[in-house]
Structure 1
Amino acid sequence: MPPNSLMTALRAQNPLVHCITNYVAMNIAANVVLAAGASPAMLHAEEEIADFTPLCGALTINIGTLSAPWLKSMRAAAQIAQDRDLPWVLDPVAHFISGYRRRAAQALLALRPSIVRGNASEILALTGEAGAGKGADSGDSVEAAKGAARNLAKDFNTVVAVTGPVDFVTDGAQEAHVSGGSALMPQVTALGCSLTALMGAYAATGPAFEAAIACLAHFKVAGSRAATEARGPGSFQMHFLDALAAADPNELPKVIA
């Protein structure tokens, strides 16, 4: 399904996305999903998972501010997604910084996400390779993580999206690169987490590989446009939301290779 068609379909369908994300990301992630044309829900109580998750078009899980109660909710929601063939996206934020976080990421990965979205250091560490990550920030290049991404995709039958200045997407057989965006994007906290939430909306709309590419392209196009009007990180965030809403579907194929 072409990326421009996926964007058009997303806006027409307005899929409901269950976003179990971190405290830092909740507001901006919800606004990003809304601006792009989908509907976010930020529920995380374990008591609501069984009733709510099956109602959604997709699930996204971000372990940024991990805690034991949230991990229970994440695992329960991911299990429902697996049982019901509901697309879901895993964002293993800084999973290498503690044993608890590593074990949580591996337990969620075992539940076979449709898409794994992370920076190069996170993807390298998921396969046991040493990286140079610093907290949630990557210290490795996307190029360095390509082999790990291919292996991860094959081992878990998933799509892996490695994000950076030029994003890399693979399902172990097919590959694509997405360029564009702005150097201001990493200066807005939780914008990467918001990308994961939006990727869930795209996954609710089309096949995982194509959905990941279309989502990344939407983000890059909006980032490039916002940068032309922004004076710094604060105004960039405002212009970025506007650019997500205003993006022309026909712009997406231009940033994909």
Structure 2
Amino acid sequence: MNLATICSALQTLREQKPLVVNLTNYVVMNNSANALLAVGASPIMAHSRAEMQEMMSFAGALVINIGTLDEVWIERMAWAIECANRAGKVVVLDPVGCGATTLRTDTARRFASLAERLIVRGNASEIIALAGAASQSKGVDALDTSDAALTAAKQLVEQYQAQVVISGATDYVVGIDATYALHNGHPMMTQVTGTGCSLSAITGAFAAIGETSGAAAAAIMGVAGELAAENVTGPGSLQVALLDALYQLDEATLTSRLKLTTL
């Protein structure tokens, strides 16, 4: 993964406008849909069992976000993953709050085991808990650093043959063949609900056009967040500025801004 590959993937995404199915939480549906539209993809927030198999036959990828989990949604999400498997589509799992409760931890592990083509995108505490280690969290907020989750991420890669994206002050993208560190973004992004969820949704958009490493989405979200934070006074305006930055992002900006290293 390098700058040229990321720029090419963004161009392809905007040309193809892939459909991304999201079973996501009630808090961020609007945020995630707008982020997908801004980057150039086509979102649908579908959750009916009755249409899911048909939906996954023509959609590009499936995003599962367990933020507002309950017993009904668990079975709907499991069915959606099975439909994605049958259609050969990538599943992006956002294990929100994994480690905070037994329900969330068990559900996230069930979904990770169920998905045949898996990308996991979470914060450090979620990644550590998903791998079975002791993590530090406060509700859905991470108290672990992204660096501390690298070993857990590598374990998940081996266990599920997955790609893993760890969000934090430094973002890490961990795969079978390579690990990348991204040093973009801004601390204010943690003060806006749904920035991580939007990254998961955008990860699904890139997976739909064949960029399944997770690196392009993390790079683009980090650079867009950094740009947005430069011209706002607080998290309220950052939310709007982030959408504008995703919409306006181009190769020249990525070239001048992206801080990507291979570990």
Per the normalisation by structure 2, the TM-score is: 0.93
Tell me, what secondary structure is at the counterpart of 1:208?
coil
Question: In the alignment, is the contact (CA less than 8 A) between 1:149 and 1:160 conserved in 2?
Answer: yes
Aligned counterpart for 1:32 among listed residues 11, 32, 35: 35
After superposition, what is the alpha-carbon deviation per residue over 1:21-78, rounded to whole angstroms, capped at 9, x for unaligned?
0000101110000000000000112222122122200100000001122111111111
Residue of structure 1 equivalent to 2:101: 98
CA distance in 1, matches of 2:185, 2:89: 30
After superposition, what is the alpha-carbon deviation per residue over 1:133-174, rounded to whole angstroms, capped at 9, x for unaligned?
111111001111101101110111000001101100111331
Tell me the amino acid that sits aligned with residue 41 of structure 2: A
Question: In the alignment, is the contact (CA less than 8 A) between 2:118 and 2:160 conserved in 1?
Answer: no
Tell me the amino acid that sits aligned with residue 20 of structure 1: L
Tell me the amino acid that sits aligned with residue 200 of structure 1: G
Tell me the amino acid that sits aligned with residue 199 of structure 1: T
Structure 2 unaligned blocks of 5 or more: none
Tell me, what secondary structure is at the counterpart of 1:129?
coil
Residue of structure 1 equivalent to 2:234: 232
Work out whether 1:203 is the aligned partner of 2:212: no
CA distance in 2, matches of 1:73, 1:55: 19
Tell me the amino acid that sits aligned with residue 72 of structure 1: E
Residue of structure 1 equivalent to 2:60: 57
Work out whether 1:122 is the aligned partner of 2:122: no
Residue of structure 1 equivalent to 2:79: 76
Deviates more, 1:154-163 or 1:45-54: 45-54
Classify 1:161/1:146 alpha carbon distance in 2 versus 1 (closer, same or farther; 3 Å).
same
Residue of structure 1 equivalent to 2:171: 167
Residue of structure 2 equivalent to 1:216: 218
Residue of structure 2 equivalent to 1:249: 251
CA distance in 1, matches of 2:80, 2:86: 10
Work out whether 1:144 is the aligned partner of 2:148: yes
CA distance in 2, matches of 1:177, 1:153: 16
Tell me the amino acid that sits aligned with residue 167 of structure 1: D
Residue of structure 1 equivalent to 2:25: 22
Percent of aligned positions that are identical = 41
Tell me the amino acid that sits aligned with residue 218 of structure 2: L
CA distance in 1, matches of 2:252, 2:80: 35
Question: In the alignment, is the contact (CA less than 8 A) between 2:112 and 2:118 conserved in 1?
Answer: no
Residue of structure 2 equivalent to 1:45: 48
Tell me the amino acid that sits aligned with residue 196 of structure 2: G
Work out whether 1:11 is the aligned partner of 2:14: yes
Q: Which has the higher contact order (CA 8 A, sep 6+)?
A: 1
Tell me the amino acid that sits aligned with residue 19 of structure 1: N
After superposition, what is the alpha-carbon deviation per residue over 1:169-219, rounded to whole angstroms, capped at 9, x for unaligned?
11133110111111110111111111111110011112311xx11101110
* Number of residue pairs aligned between Structure 1 and Structure 2: 255
Per the normalisation by structure 1, the TM-score is: 0.96
Runs (4+) off by over 3 Å: 250-253
Tell me the amino acid that sits aligned with residue 103 of structure 1: D
Structure 1 unaligned blocks of 5 or more: none
CA distance in 1, matches of 2:134, 2:177: 24
